[in-house]
Amino acid sequence: MSDENTHSDQAHGANGADAALQALKALQAEIQETVLDTVGAVDAYRIRFLSRKQGQITELLKRIPEVANEHKKRFGQEINAAKALVESRIETAAAAFAETETAKGPAFDLTLPGRAVAQGSLHPITQALRLITRVFESYGFDVAEGPEIEDDWHNFTALNFPPDHPARDMQDTFFIEAPSHAHDGILLRTHTSPVQIRVMENKKPPIRVIVPGRVYRNEAISYKSYCLFHQVEGLYIDEGVTMADLKQIIHAFARTLFGEDVKMRFRPSFFPFTEPSAEVDIWWKDENLPDGGRWMEIMGCGMVDPNVLEGLGIDSEKYTGYAFGMGIERIAMLRYGIDDIRILYENDIRFLEQFS
Query: Hey, what long-range contacts does 14-19 have (CB within 8 A, 24 or more apart)?
Result: 14/68, 16/63, 16/66, 16/67, 17/66, 17/67, 17/68, 17/71, 17/75, 19/66
How far is the C-alpha of 330 from the C-alpha of 241, rounded, in Å?
Answer: 28
Domain 124-355 classified CATH 3.30.930.10? yes
**End-to-end C-alpha distance for the chain, whole angstroms:** 100
How far is the C-alpha of 23 from the C-alpha of 187, rounded, in Å?
Answer: 86
pLDDT at residue 117, rounded to an integer: 80
Q: Determine the 3-state secondary structure of 63 from DSSP.
A: coil
Cβ of 304: how many Cβ atoms within 10 Å? 25
Dihedral (Cα; 55, 56, 61, 63), 10-degree rounding:
130
Please tell me the pTM assigned to this model.
0.64
Cα Rg of the chain, angstroms: 43
Element containing residue 347 per DSSP (H, E): none
The domain ranges of the chain are 3-104, 124-355
Cβ of 276: how many Cβ atoms within 10 Å? 14
Pairing state of beta strands 142-143 and 207-216? parallel
pLDDT at residue 192, rounded to an integer: 94
Cα separation values, 67 from 17, 58, 285, 316, Å: 4, 15, 105, 112
pLDDT at residue 143, rounded to an integer: 96
Furthest CA-CA distance within the chain = 134
pLDDT at residue 101, rounded to an integer: 63
pLDDT at residue 310, rounded to an integer: 93
Alpha carbon 30 to its chain centroid, in Å, reads 60
Pairing state of beta strands 175-177 and 293-304? unpaired
Pairing state of beta strands 274-285 and 264-271? antiparallel
CB 185 within 8 A of CB 178: yes
pLDDT tens string for the chain (356 positions)? 444 444 444 444 455 566 777 777 788 888 888 888 888 888 888 888 888 777 788 777 777 787 778 777 887 788 888 888 888 888 888 888 777 766 565 667 778 888 888 777 889 999 999 999 999 999 999 999 999 999 988 998 899 887 776 666 666 888 888 766 655 788 899 999 999 999 999 999 999 999 999 999 888 888 878 888 999 999 999 999 999 999 999 999 999 988 898 899 999 999 989 999 999 998 888 888 888 888 888 899 999 999 999 999 999 999 999 999 999 998 898 888 888 899 999 888 888 888 87
The edge-to-edge listing of strands for the beta sheet with 293-304 is 142-143, 207-216, 228-238, 320-327, 293-304, 274-285, 264-271
Pairing state of beta strands 274-285 and 293-304? antiparallel
pLDDT at residue 146, rounded to an integer: 94
Give the 3-state secondary structure of 284-301: EECCCCCCCEEEEEEEEE
